[in-house]
Structure 1
Amino acid sequence: MQFYRTILLAFFVCASLLSQAQQKPFIISYVTAGSKALPDPNLITHINYAFGHVDKTFNGVMISNEPRLREVVAMKKKSPHLKVLLSIGGWGSGRFSEMAATAENRRAFAKDCQRIVKTIDLDGIDLDWEYPSSSESGISSSPDDIDNFTLLMQEIRKAIGKKKLLTLATLADAKYIDFKGIDPYIDFVNVMMYDVTLPPFLHNSLYRSERSGRVTLVEAMEAHMNAGVKKEKLVMGIPFYGRGNKKQTPDYVMFKDYAKLSGFEEKWDDVAKVPYLQDDTGTLVFTFENVESLKLKAAYIKAQGLLGAMYWEFSGDDDQLSMSKALYESLN
């Protein structure tokens, strides 16, 4: 009898350890085709390579700077835990609507995704169509895009198989996607919790304050869960950059460069839990992320049991990897 009790105890211990291992937060770094630096693989779990695009015949994938992608994939030789995905799309990347409109094009596109995954040794595909049924970024669209997107995800999953990852990037508001429809086919959802509004409002609030933009991080997570995404599939997007008002400050400034902005006062919104810069009239002119706000967001991820964090993009970090290290240490 004691023997069986010992075996049973060992089983529960192993199950507990396995559960803990599975609960380790994901940290997903975007690496771009035009950058040169590579992230420290010890501080991340995944890399999304940006970008691939729908080709001009609407039935295949074009990769920006393929040698750079292969350089990223080569990191797995020394860091076998690392997963590398090709992110297809991005703001202003079009031809999705035409590609997804027919079964023939969807199958051909999915087959090309399969080819790329196999030949380049990728761990999956990330879809960043911004956004199905919307022409906000200047791309073509159709009211049928949302349903066609679901069919496309089904086709890609069928092509790449169950062992490869299939993910997507989504608008913070959780619009434009049938999340219940795609749920059987996807592994997780990267919520782009940034760029929701420009100055004089904050683009990346954790909680709502009078300075917050269209949606806060908490509201974005709630919107996705209400739309049908399980919290265990939610990855929170964090910006390694800030946005300016284009008059007194540049539109886009990386974290490593924001200290160069002079003539402004750095302030802290203690309700929204993010920093900002204001001019001598008290007007918010620059909204950004720093180590302190990042740590609070990481704490929220852990407290809520979310899958992890994603950030755009690695080259925004400073030489000391202040943001990358803070995120890893806060989540682990």
Structure 2
Amino acid sequence: MRSIKSLSLMLLMATIPFVQSCVVKKNQKQQQAKKVIVAYVTSWTSVMPDPKHITHLNYAFGHVNDTFNGIRINNPERLRNLTELKSTAPDLKILISIGGWGSGKFSEMAASDTGRTKFADDCLRVIKEFNLDGIDIDWEYPTNKSAGISSSPEDTKNYTLMMKAIRNRIGKQKLLTLASSPDAHYIDFKAIQPVIDFVNIMTYDMGNPPHHHAGLFRSKYTKWISADEAVTAHVKAGIPIQQLVLGIPFYGHGKNGIKGYIDYKEVVKLTGFKTLWDDDAKVPYLENDKGELVCTYENPESIQIKCEYLLKRGMLGAMYWDYAGDTEEGTLRKAVYAGINK
């Protein structure tokens, strides 16, 4: 007959695998819960986002003011209305995104210690005044004036100093994020990595018809770079994979009778075109009766594949521009949510 002590030991040994399994599952759920879904919401639209499908809301836009020492906010009343979402969704993080294509005055502001300090002070003021969770910097792009903004060869160095100044002023409890070019140029990522929370890669606008603008992988329709190559470029530039967020467009680009910039909610209403799938790039496109690629865009299937990709690579999550481009029933945002929380 076995002793009570030996039976107890056998019982304990038998329960260890079960306990370990529970711990693993708990850790997996915790890791999954940490994934982010960042939605850009614009000042010029009126739709109110559904907090249950997002974790972070980036309000677009604020801008560097005319005196290069503070922030000018587009439609501040809309921002106040958006922050009221926190009353029913206290875990929702709301940031103001400063910049955007064609938004300048960064170069002048960041060029001096005084300008950077006063700008960082105003970042804190805006956070407090609007009850925000942080700052998202969308300078497109340091050292580059293609957007019609001023630039300087010193911009990259000054960008680092600006980000450090903002972090020092807003503290460690607030978020500091940024939007970046797919090729990971213009910014010293190794220098800013310690002071930022994560990077939103703008893995879209990477081509116009007859090319894809957000292909996940390279194909014959790739013009410049694929999303996969963009992620790898950022890792090589110095940002750990777990600090990278993959950008997804809720709009497409068209030609030959289709608007150059067209929201997804309008794409699905188009008629007279053939819907095709690029199995190399993992994205859909529209073709006209001449066999030409005339519209590049995303759909739920391509979004599902992108989410599977980012989870497999260990990325932090997904970001999309912009919330209002979706259908009224939320076809794409629901696809992102389902893909991230698979």
Tell me the TM-score normalized by structure 1.
Answer: 0.94
User: Whole-Å Cα distance in 2 between the matches of residues 242 and 20 of structure 1?
Assistant: 34
Match of 1:258 among 267, 271, 282: 267
RMSD over equivalenced CA pairs, Å: 2.0
Q: Tell me the CA shift for residue 12 of structure 1.
A: 11
Work out whether 1:55 is the aligned partner of 2:58: no
The residue that corresponds to 2:163 in the other structure is 153
Deviates more, 1:19-28 or 1:253-262: 19-28
270-279 vs 231-240, greater mean Cα deviation: 270-279
Q: For residue 172 of structure 1, what is the amino acid of its counterpart?
A: P
Residue 227 of structure 1: aligned partner: 237
1:190 matches 2:197: no
Residue equivalent to 2:332: 323
Where does residue 3 of structure 2 map in the other structure? none
Cα-to-partner distance string for 1:77-128 (whole Å, 9 max, x where unaligned): 1001100000000000000000000000000000000011112110000000
Structure 2 CA distance for aligned equivalents of residues 258 and 205 of structure 1: 17
User: How far, CA to CA, are the matches of 1:264 and 1:70 in structure 2?
Assistant: 42
Match status 1:43 vs 2:53? yes
SS in 1 for 2:38: strand
Cα deviation, 1:15-44, whole Å, max 9, x if unaligned, reads 973663244220000100011111211111
Greater displacement, 137-146 / 247-256: 247-256
State the match for 1:111 in structure 2.
Answer: 121
Which residue type is aligned with residue 220 of structure 2?
E
Q: Give the distance between the partners of 1:11 and 1:296, measured in 2 at CA.
A: 31
> How big is each residue's C-alpha offset from its partner over 1:28-79, in whole Å with a ceiling of 9 and x where there is no partner?
0010001111121111100000000000000000000001001111101100
1:82 equivalenced with 2:92 (yes/no)? yes
| CA radius of gyration, larger in | 2
Which amino acid is 1:268 matched to? Answer: W
User: Structure 1's 11 and 267: CA in aligned 2 closer, same or farther, altered over 3 A?
Assistant: closer
For residues 261 and 19 of structure 1, the distance between their equivalents in structure 2, rounded to whole angstroms, comes to: 42
Tell me, yes or no, if the aligned pair for 1:127 and 1:169 is still in contact at 8 Å.
yes
Which residue of the other structure, out of 291, 296, 302, is the alignment partner of 1:293?
302
Q: What is the 5 A alignment of 1:160-199?
A: 160-199=170-209
Q: Structure 2 vs 1, CA of residues 101 and 12 (structure 1 numbering), >3 Å: closer, same or farther?
A: farther
Once residues 168 and 22 of structure 1 are traced to their aligned partners in structure 2, the CA distance between those partners, rounded to angstroms, is 22
> Following the alignment from structure 2 to structure 1, what is the Cα–Cα distance between the partners of residues 105 and 23?
48
- How far does residue 259 in structure 1 lie from its aligned partner after superposition? 2.3
Deviation digits for residues 229-275 of structure 1 (CA, Å, limit 9, x no counterpart)? 10000000000000112x42111111111123233211111111101
Q: Which runs of 5+ in 2 are unaligned?
A: 1-7
Cα distance in 1 for residues equivalent to 2:86 and 2:291:
48
Tell me, which stretches of 5 or more residues in structure 1 are unaligned?
Answer: none
Cα distance in structure 2, aligned partners of 1:142 and 1:22: 41
TM-score by length of 2: 0.92
Q: Do the aligned partners of 1:205 and 1:213 also contact (CA within 8 Å) in 2? A: no
Superposition misfits of 4+ residues, deviation over 4 angstroms = 8-16
Q: Following the alignment from structure 1 to structure 2, what is the Cα–Cα distance between the partners of residues 179 and 234?
A: 12
What does 1:132-151 correspond to in 2, within 5 Å?
132-151=142-161
**Alignment partners' CA distance in 1, 2:71 and 2:64:** 5
